[in-house]
Amino acid sequence: MKNVKLNNGVEMPILGYGVYQIPNYDECKQSVLAALEAGYRSIDTAQAYQNEKAVGDAIKESGIYRNELFITTKLWITDYGYEKAQKAFALSMEKLQLDYLDLYLLHQPFNDVYGSWRALEELNKAGKIRAIGVSNFYPDRLVDLISFNEIAPAVNQIETHPFNQRDEDQKVMQKYGVQQESWAPFAEGKHNFFENEELSSIGKKYGKSVAQVTLRWMIQRDIVVIPKSITPSRIKQNFDVFDFELTEDEMNQIKGINLNESSFFDHRDADRVEWFAGLVR
């Protein structure tokens, strides 16, 4: 497994397993166990996914030593604010059954970001979290947070896939030493992703799937990626991406399918911000 070194020296696997949209307890627990058996050691969950307990139980049942694992969860905007963030963190830790967390992210760039970030900074300094970061922060919000706080985010988890490659975002993150992490690496199947001609033709050359080609493309861009599947064979297949390497021409070929826009929604859109605000009110 290839690791990336975060801006505070903590090492993080470049390939992990995500559990978004697996709220069913048994399904989530068995999927995490399948991922751990396949070799994954990084697991990404969130307060909003409503499956932290299943993840924690799977970790416990696996018997894998804690220091071999890298566990991420995220703070949801309904619990933003200095005191509420601390309480939400404690509850997440109780569900995950962990003594410390490897990475804790602010899930959205709205509500009391700064009060929440101060809480994360304190938890980090106290040794309860090894690294802290954000999710869904566009460059302007990211640079603002870095400029006016003591600790810079170690990670920014954002929508990144072949149809929204986020090159400019990556340049800003590299400038400030923030590790880019992808969510929805397969665009949740949008734009006929799994039948894409360019990705399919590259895959045929190596005997790999469209998903494997995409994960390899992400890894060669030094982007952390956390694919999700509930099918054991696909969970295993998604981990099998370290035995081939894309050429420069193939990397450029994939660049050519970039639509350079979100396949879901824009966090800078006023109507979308109002929608998020409505979740808190």
Residue type, 280: V
> How many alpha carbons lie under 13 Å from residue 12 in its C-beta half-sphere?
34
153 close to 146: Cβ distance less than 8 angstroms: yes
Tokens read off for 57: 């139980």
**What gap in Å lies between CA 199 and CA 162, rounded to an integer?**
9
- Residue 107 counted as an annotated binding residue: yes
Q: What is the three-class DSSP state of 15?
A: strand
Q: From the candidates 49, 65, 82, 176, give the one annotated as an active-site residue.
A: 49
Strand partners, 101: 129
Helices 248-255 and 197-206, axial angle in degrees (round to 10): 160
Q: How many CB atoms lie within 10 A of CB 281?
A: 5
What is the per-residue burial (b if ≥16 Cβ within 10 Å, else e) of 109-142? Answer: bbbbbeebbbbbeebbeeebbbbbbbbbbbbebb
Please report which helix (H) or strand (E) contains residue 208, including its range.
Answer: none
User: Is residue 206 annotated as a catalytic residue, yes or no?
Assistant: no
For the annotated catalytic residues, the residue numbers are 49
Q: Which residues carry a binding-site annotation for substrate?
A: 107
